[in-house]
Amino acid sequence: MIDTHAHIYASEFDNDRDQVVERALAQGISKILLPNIDLDSIEPMLTTEAAYPQICRSMMGLHPCYVDGNVEQTLTTIHSWFNKHSFIAVGEIGIDLYWDKTYKVEQEYAFVTQLNWAKEMQLPVVIHTRDSIEETLALLEKEQDGSLSGVFHCFGGSVEEAKAINQLGFHLGLGGVSTFKNGGMDKVIPQLDMNYVILETDCPYLAPVPHRGKRNEPAYTQLVAQRVADLRQMSLQQIDELTTRNAKTLFNL
Ligand SMILES: [Zn+2]
């Protein structure tokens, strides 16, 4: 099983990162993919990757919540990292209009710029959206020339949104939200195209039931998989095989 979206380099894990990785391995999690956030997260992310080279793989990108008036300069620095290190994806990138709309134009600029890096480097992209699915899909549709692939991470939308995402050739990252009783995903997950589903935690955030509200960790990918298996009336092993296959193909693992 692969946790395709985990921030285990975050300071929340500084006291017990070894144990967190051990618990993940014990639950059958063989790979943990690390999305970058901003300039400050690069160093801890690469240090974590170096500490667990068989398990952790890093991405490089600028998260929309960290886009500001300095976007041009920040993107130049982020881009320079692709010449210094091997990354499995451009991420996480996207648009977030939930917290702050001040830099909407800059967010869109950063998103499109990074989509074009992905095309040039033939890397998948990991997309974060919040209150911005229409804006994100419109830009992606404009940029999709057949060479872009990736995932809408932390998917919690409707069946229609899932179809629109799949039609653009993109995957859906299912995480803790899938297990929330009031999340509505019990109606959506049975209707998803399983060829486009991958699993994630987005830890330390969004822990699945029964750990909701507490710190999340990669071992809990198992709980998300079990929830998907229950809703699809499939075995855990079938969900594991399908989603692992999808993740390996998408991220070239
Ligand atoms: Zn994230």
- CA pair distance 43, 97, nearest whole angstrom: 27
Has residue 7 got a pLDDT over 90? Answer: yes
For residue 127, how far is its CA from the centre of ligand 1 (angstroms)? 9
For residue 175, how far is its CA from the centre of ligand 1 (angstroms)? 11
For residue 203, how far is its CA from the centre of ligand 1 (angstroms)? 8
For residue 202, how far is its CA from the centre of ligand 1 (angstroms)? 5
pTM of the entire predicted model = 0.97
For residue 92, how far is its CA from the centre of ligand 1 (angstroms)? 7
CA distances from 235 to 65, 232, 238 (A): 37, 9, 5
76-89 burial, b for 16+ CB within 10 Å, e for fewer?
eebbebbeeeebbb
Residue type, 149: S
For residue 234, how far is its CA from the centre of ligand 1 (angstroms)? 28
- Res 100: pLDDT: 87
CB proximity list for 196: less than 8 A, separation 6 or greater = 162, 165, 166, 170, 171, 172, 246
Task: Reduce the DSSP state of residue 198 to 3 states and report it.
Answer: strand
For residue 98, how far is its CA from the centre of ligand 1 (angstroms)? 15
- Res 211: pLDDT: 96
- Res 182: pLDDT: 85
Has residue 96 got a pLDDT over 90? Answer: yes
- Res 239: pLDDT: 98
Kindly report the backbone phi and psi dihedral angles of residue 152, in degrees, each rounded to the nearest multiple of 5, phi listed first. -90, 100
Please compute the mean of the pLDDT values over residues 163-192 and round it to a whole number: 96
> Omega into 92 within 30° of 0, i.e. cis?
yes
For residue 115, how far is its CA from the centre of ligand 1 (angstroms)? 17
- CA pair distance 16, 22, nearest whole angstrom: 10
pLDDT digits (tens, 9 = 90+) for 98-156: 988 999 999 999 999 999 999 999 999 999 999 999 999 999 999 999 999 999 999 99
pLDDT digits (tens, 9 = 90+) for 210-243: 999 999 999 999 999 999 999 999 999 999 999 9
Please compute the mean of the pLDDT values over residues 38-66 and round it to a whole number: 98
**72 band by pLDDT with thresholds 50, 70 and 90:** very high
CA distances from 61 to 30, 44, 56, 66, 111 (A): 23, 14, 16, 11, 9
Mean of the per-residue pLDDT values of the chain: 97
- Res 45: pLDDT: 98
- Res 230: pLDDT: 97
For residue 154, how far is its CA from the centre of ligand 1 (angstroms)? 8
Indicate the Cα dihedral angle 120, 50, 155, 218, nearest 10°.
160
Characterize the bridge pairing of strands 56-58 and 90-96: unpaired
For residue 6, how far is its CA from the centre of ligand 1 (angstroms)? 7
For residue 34, how far is its CA from the centre of ligand 1 (angstroms)? 8
For residue 37, how far is its CA from the centre of ligand 1 (angstroms)? 7
DSSP states along 14-62: TTTHHHHHHHHHHTT--EEEE---STTTHHHHHHHHHHSTTTEEE-B--
Please name which of 23, 22, 30, 26 lies closest in space to residue 3, comparing C-alpha atoms: 30
- CA pair distance 135, 53, nearest whole angstrom: 37
Contact of 90 with 61, CB cutoff 8 Å = yes
Contact of 150 with 170, CB cutoff 8 Å = yes
For residue 146, how far is its CA from the centre of ligand 1 (angstroms)? 25
For residue 171, how far is its CA from the centre of ligand 1 (angstroms)? 16
